[in-house]
A and B are shown apart, each in its own frame.
Chain A
Amino acid sequence: MYDAIIAESITISGHGGDAIEAYSARPMQPGPAGGVVVIHHMPGYDAPTKEIARNFAAGGYNAVVPNLYFREAPGASPDDAAAAARAAGGVPDDRLVGDVAGAAAYLKGLSNSNGKVGVIGYCSGGRQSFLAAVSLPLDAAVDCYGAFIVGTPPEGSPLKVGPIVDKVADLSCPLLGLFGADDTHPSPEQVAELEKALQEAAKTYEFHSYEGAGHAFFSVNRPAYRPEAAMDGWQKIFGFFGKHLA
């Protein structure tokens, strides 16, 4: 089987037509292939997130990771960029939606695209994945332990985001949610509240909460990594995208 992929830094058109950095990983087969926008976690546009994009490419998907902190810190290392973005209050919601729209347009414009695009996000990106899916016409969305879809940041937090569960009626695609039962942001109660909202809005969704796992259990380079949850989670993700992006 021919399984070559190409992975490279590119420039895409983001919110407001801004040129922003992105990381693209694509299978070299002629396709047709579905596309995945990968939204990085709060620690930034880092090596493990680029590895996630390559994993999607190896699985047959075109993937792109927009650098959401590019405007605050062009050329800075991911940790410095994340510190600057964190201090600035995080990524504004409208800018996130514009950047994901630009990333989706890039994927749809690829010669091997099948025209379908999904989104996946981790940590703060989990909330942003949901935000993109209630704001843009997408084909699938995955929320990995995104906080503040339900609930608000603690008082004194620099993060300037609020709950967006009230937008659930606008969800444009099926949603897969992967959570850690020991997480506090989002807590199991908040996950239950989101699930209730999805049920009341008659949306298609699939939630899985892993016992013994907390926040960031997919992060292979952190003590939070939980191999069993992460491996099962990856299976769920590929199953979900296989169903909705094929």
Chain B
Amino acid sequence: MCTYLTEKIAISGSAKGAGGWFRVTDGSVYFDHPVHAPYGHTLNIDFLAPGQGPSARVAVELSADSARGLMKAIEAVLESAPPGLE
């Protein structure tokens, strides 16, 4: 956790954590040391509900290539979704 690079965004949706589903309100995206993934640095995303405390967090740690692939997949799916469904 020592590049200190972070983007914070407001989000709206739900995530499933250790205690089940909860509404998420905030996201943190950062490229830094992971807790668990076997890489020196990873693209980390925290889906958060700060109002419910620090444990209301769903975290992912992705290799840089995986994160780029995820971005493309998300964009492709959103682009191909039928209009009017958002």
Query: Does B bind A?
Result: yes
Q: Is the CB of B38 within 8 A of A223?
A: yes
Residues of B within 8 A of A43 (CB): 1, 33, 35
Sorting the interface of chain A by its residue count into under 10, 10 to 19, 20 to 34 or 35 or more gives 20 to 34
Q: Is the CB of A84 within 8 A of B54?
A: yes
A83 within 8 A of B: yes
Residues of A within 8 A of B71 (CB): none
Contact residues, A68-86 vs B (CB, 8 A): 72-73, 76-77, 79-84, 86
Q: Is the CB of B2 within 8 A of A154?
A: no
Q: Which 8 A-B pairs have the closest CB atoms?
A: A84-B54, A157-B4, A73-B54, A42-B1, A76-B54, A79-B35, A80-B54, A76-B55
Contacts A/B (CB < 8 Å), 29 sampled: A72-B54, A73-B53, A76-B53, A79-B35, A83-B46, A83-B54, A83-B57, A83-B59, A84-B54, A86-B1, A86-B28, A87-B28, A87-B48, A123-B2, A124-B2, A153-B4, A154-B3, A156-B5, A156-B6, A156-B7, A157-B4, A157-B5, A157-B6, A158-B4, A158-B8, A159-B4, A185-B2, A185-B4, A223-B38
